[in-house]
Amino acid sequence: MNDTESGNPNTGQESVGAAGTAVLAFVAAFVLTFLTVLPLGSAVSEPPVAKESYTQEHDEGTKQSPDRVDTDRAIEKPDRNTVKARTEDVVTESKKNDPAQERKPEEESKAAIESPNAAWKWLLELADDFLQQRPLEQLLAVAPVVGIFIAFVAWRRPRPTVSIPPVTKEAIAREIGPGTTRNLSQKDIDNAAEAVEAANKGKLHLAEGLLKQSYEDSAKAAAKARQRETQANKQQAEAARHLAAVVFVNNIAEAKGWYEKAARLDPDDPRRWLDYGDAAVAAGSLGEAETAYHAALDSAAKTGDLGQRTRALFGLGDVQQDKGDLAAAEQTYRQAMAIDEARLKDDSGHAGWQRDLSVSHNKIGDVQVAQGNLSAALQSFQASLDIAERLAADDPGHAGRQYDLAASFWRMANIARHQNDREGELRYCRSVLTIMQRLTEMNPSHAGWRDNLRAVQERIAALEGR
């Protein structure tokens, strides 16, 4: 298996980078060479200037024109075209005077080659021409050589090699076989081993397909395992809840612990968190209760259960009120009221939602009483009483509806007492007495109802002056 197929892309990337650098440098050298061929070629083809001819002509010109001495002396280098033309005239004139100099081109080339100083002379002429060029032309002339050198260095640069140990079936079996946390089936192990064998043979697509199939099978198996685990956790949470209900009678703190375990086992059920929050309130742990009610709100939002969300808001508002944060409590209760009112727009006859709205009015009224706003509290309690009377009349045998009505009458009696309305307070207390007597007759063993009956009887006796 080569480096690329074995999953190590570093070596391949470095090879491609070096090759790319070499290719770019070579192309740049080729282009720059093309750009500099013409100026260098034309310069090399020029014949050398006859020094004697130039000196002689310059001396003659000086003799003929004395006034030009200073000018010629100021000129450091003659014009190249002028020198070339003058040199060609001198050479032509010398050939006319000396027939022996008229040789064929082949003979001149042969003589130049045979001469030991011909190559050195040619290099000197080339260097002299190079120095007479402009800086840009010199740069273009040197660039091809530099480019070819960079390309050669990039091509010959040593590249690091990574030694990758061979992957075998046994290694795959040790990695993903039984005994690991994944605990895959034998089929997954066989597929992985077959994929490794295919990869070693260069059949990468086959190996990829086998591994993908193994992954999908493993994902399905893991999903089923999680589902079984979730179901088992739900059953265990239900058992903890039943145990907490039994323990609650004698040991509230222990019951709170069992409710918490039930919530941790089944965190997606808001009822578990609500039970935990109620037990925490009963145990006096308001911090735990507030955390539990917030968790209930989150889980209810995920499930979309508006009823449980309303109940969580009621519990959270009660905790905030017990902590003395009346503004936060009222805001929380109004959130619950908004949910109830929105639901009743879709189904105004829903008794459960009407009951929740009645409770919202009562809780807001309690906060307003604590704030000293009795007029606003009276309006809230009256709105709750209207709903409770309607629900109790629709279902006279429903003990819960009757108890809600008694609770509304009790709050109205409290407002009458704050307003020094003794007759109104007595009237509402007698309404509470009638309902609680009927409820205790329906269920004499209900301790809470018996306590409420006793309390209202004592209050009426106090109001009547007995």
- Pick from 413, 419, 420, 418: which is nearest to 459 by CA? 413
Round to whole Å and give the CA distance between 55 and 28.
Answer: 44
Q: How confident is the model at residue 45 (pLDDT cuts 50, 70, 90)?
A: very low
**Using one digit for the tens of pLDDT, what is the confidence trace for 24-34?**
655 665 555 55
- Pick from 280, 291, 260, 272: which is nearest to 234 by CA? 272
Which residue type, as a one-letter code, is found at position 252?
I
Stretch 17-21: mean pLDDT: 55
pLDDT at 25: 57
pLDDT at 138: 61
pLDDT at 422: 93
| Residue 235 located in a structural domain | no
| Residue 151 located in a structural domain | yes
**210 and 176 in one domain?**
yes
Share above pLDDT 70 across residues of the chain, in percent, rounded to a whole number: 58
pLDDT of 183 above 80: no
Round to whole Å and give the CA distance between 325 and 333.
Answer: 12
* Residue-number span of the structural domain to which 111 is assigned: 9-156
pLDDT of 358 above 70: yes
Which residue type, as a one-letter code, is found at position 89?
D
pLDDT at 280: 96
**180 and 142 in one domain?**
no
Of the candidates 225, 243, 266, which is a domain's last residue?
Answer: 225
Lookup: tokens for 371: 């704030």
Q: What angle do CA 318, 319, 323 make, to 5 degrees?
A: 115
| Residue 192 located in a structural domain | yes
**181 and 148 in one domain?**
no
Mean pLDDT of the chain: 76
Residue 246, CA atoms < 13 Å, CB-side half-sphere: 6
pTM for this entry: 0.55
Q: Alpha-carbon Rg of the chain, whole angstroms?
A: 53
**149 and 75 in one domain?**
yes
pLDDT of 111 above 60: no
Q: 113 or 219: which carries more pLDDT confidence?
A: 219
Of the candidates 190, 206, 225, which is a domain's last residue?
Answer: 225
**180 and 147 in one domain?**
no
| Residue 120 located in a structural domain | yes
pLDDT at 151: 67
- Cβ contacts of 156 within 8 Å, gap of 6 or more: none
| Residue 30 located in a structural domain | yes
**173 and 150 in one domain?**
no
Round to whole Å and give the CA distance between 331 and 328.
Answer: 5
**152 and 14 in one domain?**
yes
Q: How confident is the model at residue 331 (pLDDT cuts 50, 70, 90)?
A: very high
pLDDT of 50 above 70: no
Lowest mean pLDDT across 70-79, 144-153, 264-273: 70-79
**Using one digit for the tens of pLDDT, what is the confidence trace for 376-393?**
999 999 999 999 999 999
pLDDT at 81: 53
Lowest mean pLDDT across 203-207, 425-429, 436-440: 203-207
Round to whole Å and give the CA distance between 278 and 237.
Answer: 17
Identify the DSSP state of 46. Answer: S
Output b/e per residue, 279-313; b: 16+ Cβ within 10 A: bbbebebbebbbbbbbbbbebbeeeebbebbbbbb
Stretch 406-410: mean pLDDT: 96
Lowest mean pLDDT across 21-30, 119-128, 208-217, 337-346: 21-30
**191 and 138 in one domain?**
no
**183 and 142 in one domain?**
no
Lowest mean pLDDT across 36-50, 143-157, 207-221, 352-366: 36-50
**104 and 196 in one domain?**
no
Number of domains in the chain: 2
pLDDT of 78 above 70: no
| Residue 59 located in a structural domain | yes
**86 and 197 in one domain?**
no
Which residue type, as a one-letter code, is found at position 401?
R
pLDDT of 75 above 50: no
pLDDT of 261 above 50: yes
Of the candidates 156, 177, 209, which is a domain's last residue?
Answer: 156
**134 and 27 in one domain?**
yes
Torsion of CA 87, 88, 89, 94, to 10 degrees: 90
The sign of the CA dihedral 163, 169, 170, 175 is positive
| Residue 60 located in a structural domain | yes
The winner for highest mean pLDDT among 133-142, 212-221, 402-411 is: 402-411
Stretch 105-123: mean pLDDT: 56
| Residue 149 located in a structural domain | yes
Stretch 33-38: mean pLDDT: 49
**Using one digit for the tens of pLDDT, what is the confidence trace for 230-239?**
888 889 899 9
Lookup: tokens for 84: 């070339």
pLDDT of 456 above 60: yes
Q: How confident is the model at residue 139 (pLDDT cuts 50, 70, 90)?
A: low
**Using one digit for the tens of pLDDT, what is the confidence trace for 410-437?**
999 999 999 999 999 999 999 999 999 9
pLDDT at 16: 46
- Cβ contacts of 239 within 8 Å, gap of 6 or more: none
